[in-house]
Structure 1
Amino acid sequence: MIMIFFRKRFVFVLAGVMTTVLACQNQSAPQQEKLQLSAEFINRQLDDAISQVRVLADSVPTDQMPRTFQADTSVFSNTGWWTSGFYPGLLLYLYEYSEDEQLLQLAKAKLEILEKEKYNKGTHDLGFMLYCSFGNALRLTGDTAAYKDILLTGAESLISRYSPTVKAIRSWEGWTYPVIIDNMMNLEFLTQASKLGGDPKYRDIAVIHANTTIVNHYRSDYSSYHVIDYNPVDGSIVGKKTAQGAFDESAWARGQAWGLYGYVMMYRETGDKTYLDFAKHIASFILNHPNLPEDFVPYWDFDAPDLPAGSPYAHAYKTYRDASTASILASALIELSTHTEDDDGATYLATAERILQSLSSSAYKAEIGSNGGFILRHSVGSIPHGSEIDVPLTYADYYYIEALMRYRRLLEGKLLFEDVAGR
């Protein structure tokens, strides 16, 4: 069977069937001939990333984390900010690639100031903050004495925000009981905590939250709302809103990527084919959207190019791209391709390859020594808040490097995923 995949003037002709593998087992690579990017290409991007992150490391204060670079000024955060785990996680990925002990020591220094966030019950973002950092540290070092209790304490803090009435983990304060699509990304932390600690409650809550999100966050076309606000008394829905998208009914781009990544991960962690089927529907929405650019780096909102003239975002913001969305999509699609045995798997892999080529081009990848030491340019934080517009973002770099590392594993025929428990 041959699939012809049209994207405006860009045409993919994809043939073949991906190697079938089982979920809940570490995934093996597809056959070598199906991979179109060379080891030389992947390694060059990783080598450049190491050179760039050394530039970044020279500017980061001892007690802070890098966040962005805008108006020729570096912006840092304290460890309580939701992106605080990405920088040490990035360093650890690059250490995994290079075996450069200096990168490991840089990461460990940041883990020391980050550890206190294991007690933070005021945020749903502990997966980003602790799993991307300490989870990678445990996976790479095997030092359970140093990292296991931190992760389990953090998981306990995260589930303190769970409501059995709403059947979901609260995201923010304010509103009534808001749950955002981003929260799908923090569920991996809980599934891994159950493997690490043997207590099934963390995984159980992750499954319940994922199921609630399927029912309430998604529209009939498999696009996602950003925020569902619940009544905590009876679990009913108060409102379906956006905070960072163009309007309530729009498809905020990074939110679509968060959801795709989250459901691919939930299939891997549970083996429940419901999640795989749902992830494929989300992928279809994204990859077949008429507003997806030819280079597969999405606009900040899939509806942004169609905003009417009266929209507050139409004139200045409608065509801004979001490299962070593209990075998340690339990483998610690489994994999804390993779970998919039909021609869709070839499409997912080819799209991830195209995204990595785009992000690695001069259109998005910064010259070494520029961009404040960040790897990628042209990401968007929140246009409605006037925050981080067309700037580098620490999580864009993190997921870009994660995608490169996942692809490198495919090239080497290694297992795609290793969990923190060493299984």
Structure 2
Amino acid sequence: MLKTTSVFILIIFFTSCKTPQNHNQSLSSAIDQSLELATKQSLRMAESLKDQPDKLPQTIGKDGKLVTCNSDWWVSGFFPGVLWYLYENNPEDSLKLWAENYTLRVEDQQFTTDNHDVGFMIFCSFGNGYRITGNPKYKEVIHNASKSLITRFNPTVGCIRSWDYAPWSAKWQYPVIIDNMMNLELLEWSAQTFNDTTFSHVARTHANTTMENHFRDDYSSYHVISYDTITGAVEKKNTAQGYSDDSAWARGQAWGLYGYTMMYRETGKESYLEQANHIADFIINHPNLPEDKIPYWDFDAPDIPNTLRDASAGAIMCSALLELSQYVADYKAKSYLNVAKIQIRTLSSDEYLANPGENANFILKHSVGHMPNRTEIDVPLTYADYYFVEALMRAKELTKQGEL
């Protein structure tokens, strides 16, 4: 890749006035080089934790060293998913062995009923593993995880509860976060695979309730909606990770875009496609979306342009836009693909893509986890890597088809 000057890096990061300078490189070349780098980094990452069989990568600490998590943290399934995608791209035995190894590290979460993240944990890991290998043991784990997830559904509210634990239990009766849309793919897949409409009923009811209550008139999304458990009515509209209750937290907008795109794929319901289009239009036409298309951590952060970007939000948006482009008319598809192409080039540039052996072996730099809590600020995040690799795989397929 062409190297940018240090001055240009400062401009792109703080003022966002330019797009990456690898525009002369073909998109397919940028994709292949990023996948090659991702493979090298992920193999190093896997090797670094081979003697810690209960650990998975999460982020880095203030000292620049790797921070890991156990299987019960919500991000545990992402690294196994990265390995499966990379094995799909390049079917080497070493990648498959590591993918199997790290997937089994989250196996115990199939019976988790105390949070909504079992979809992230199990479907990113076992879901990709089953899709690629057809291993029947993986299928059973996914079925169990789906049964665990629907225990959190309240028919009066019409949603799967997100959080149980303090301090949320004191603040909200029944909190539902926009992130929860992402866990519905697990249920839709299980409904079709096991011919059980219970799963799809829960997923679609949750999606419909969220569509009704989580979105503002401009199709931006609140982060947290809390419901009255007796009546099912909306109790509060807040944020946990965004700038303010009324702001558009970037990753939250990405979750919504991805979630409704996925729900259209799984159900064919036009209302979900319309919702995904509205969210996409809000994002790509927002005056605070930088020219390089990697969003600030919140679209309404008061210190724009002198605030941090969130590569994780950019990667999720990119993956979703690539898929959404396949479901819409040509003029819309072109606008979505144009944004996604810029996002791929930006994330594949020196500003965001790590050098081999650096960045504690993560792939992307410059993500924001929880700004209000001042945790995971301007660091690599395992889910940023996951959605970036997924976007690269989707983009690679579209380039083969001549659509990108």
Determine if the TM-score, normalized by the shorter chain, exceeds 0.5.
Answer: yes
| Alignment map for 1:318-357 (pairs within 5 Å) | 319-357=307-345
Q: Which moved more, 1:199-208 or 1:80-89?
A: 199-208
Does 1:110 pair with 2:110? Answer: no
Work out which of the residue numbers 132, 136, 140 in structure 2 matches 1:140.
Answer: 132
> What secondary structure does 2:106 align onto?
helix
Distance in 2 between the 1:387 and 1:39 partners?
Answer: 35
Equivalent pair of 2:30/2:345 in contact (CA under 8 Å): no
- The structural deviation recorded for 1:9 is 6.8
Q: Which moved more, 1:242-251 or 1:37-46?
A: 37-46
Does 1:66 pair with 2:57? Answer: yes
- The structural deviation recorded for 1:107 is 1.4
Work out which of the residue numbers 118, 121, 131 in structure 2 matches 1:126.
Answer: 118
Q: What residue is the counterpart of 2:174 in the other structure? A: 177
Q: Deviations over 1:318-361 (max 9, x none)?
A: 61100000000000000011101231110101110100000000
Q: What residue is the counterpart of 2:252 in the other structure? A: 255
> What secondary structure does 1:58 align onto?
helix
Q: Given the superposition, is the C-alpha separation of residues 318 and 382 from structure 1 closer, same or farther in structure 2, using an over 3 Å criterion?
A: farther
Distance in 2 between the 1:318 and 1:74 partners?
Answer: 27
Does 1:50 pair with 2:39? Answer: yes
Q: What residue is the counterpart of 2:30 in the other structure? A: 41
| Alignment map for 1:80-229 (pairs within 5 Å) | 80-144=72-136, 146-173=137-164, 174=169, 175-229=172-226
Work out which of the residue numbers 257, 263, 269 in structure 2 matches 1:266.
Answer: 263
Q: What residue is the counterpart of 1:359 in the other structure? A: 347
Cα RMSD for the two superposed structures: 1.9
Distance in 2 between the 1:368 and 1:9 partners?
Answer: 28
Q: Given the superposition, is the C-alpha separation of residues 403 and 102 from structure 1 closer, same or farther in structure 2, using an over 3 Å criterion?
A: same
- The structural deviation recorded for 1:237 is 1.2
Equivalent pair of 2:362/2:380 in contact (CA under 8 Å): yes
**Where do 5+ consecutive residues of structure 1 fail to align?**
1-7, 12-35, 308-313, 417-423
Q: Which moved more, 1:55-64 or 1:152-161?
A: 55-64
Q: Deviations over 1:99-140 (max 9, x none)?
A: 011111111112222111001001101111000100000000
| Alignment map for 1:285-324 (pairs within 5 Å) | 285-304=282-301, 307=302, 314=303, 319-324=307-312
Q: Deviations over 1:268-299 (max 9, x none)?
A: 11111111111111011111111111110000
Q: Which moved more, 1:51-60 or 1:232-241?
A: 51-60
Count of residue pairs brought into register by the alignment: 375
- The structural deviation recorded for 1:194 is 0.9
Aligned sequence identity (%): 50
- The structural deviation recorded for 1:378 is 0.3
Equivalent pair of 2:80/2:102 in contact (CA under 8 Å): yes
Distance in 1 between the 2:322 and 2:103 partners?
Answer: 28
Work out which of the residue numbers 369, 373, 390 in structure 2 matches 1:402.
Answer: 390
- The structural deviation recorded for 1:414 is 10
Q: Deviations over 1:286-316 (max 9, x none)?
A: 1111111111000000001xx2xxxxxx59x
Distance in 1 between the 2:330 and 2:140 partners?
Answer: 41
Q: Deviations over 1:369-407 (max 9, x none)?
A: 100000000000001111100000000000000000011
Equivalent pair of 1:67/1:77 in contact (CA under 8 Å): yes
With the length of structure 1 as denominator, give the TM-score of the two structures: 0.86
| Alignment map for 1:222-241 (pairs within 5 Å) | 222-241=219-238
Equivalent pair of 2:17/2:290 in contact (CA under 8 Å): no
Equivalent pair of 1:381/1:389 in contact (CA under 8 Å): yes
The letter for the 2-side match of 1:126 is V
Equivalent pair of 2:123/2:142 in contact (CA under 8 Å): yes
- The structural deviation recorded for 1:142 is 1.0
Distance in 1 between the 2:207 and 2:18 partners?
Answer: 35
Q: Deviations over 1:20-77 (max 9, x none)?
A: xxxxxxxxxxxxxxxx954332111111111111221232232110000132111000
| Alignment map for 1:369-408 (pairs within 5 Å) | 369-408=357-396
The letter for the 2-side match of 1:108 is E
Equivalent pair of 1:55/1:372 in contact (CA under 8 Å): no
- The structural deviation recorded for 1:413 is 3.0
- The structural deviation recorded for 1:10 is 7.5
Equivalent pair of 2:85/2:390 in contact (CA under 8 Å): yes
- The structural deviation recorded for 1:415 is 12
Distance in 1 between the 2:306 and 2:174 partners?
Answer: 30
- Of structures 1 and 2, the one with the larger relative CO (CA 8 A, separation 6+) is 1
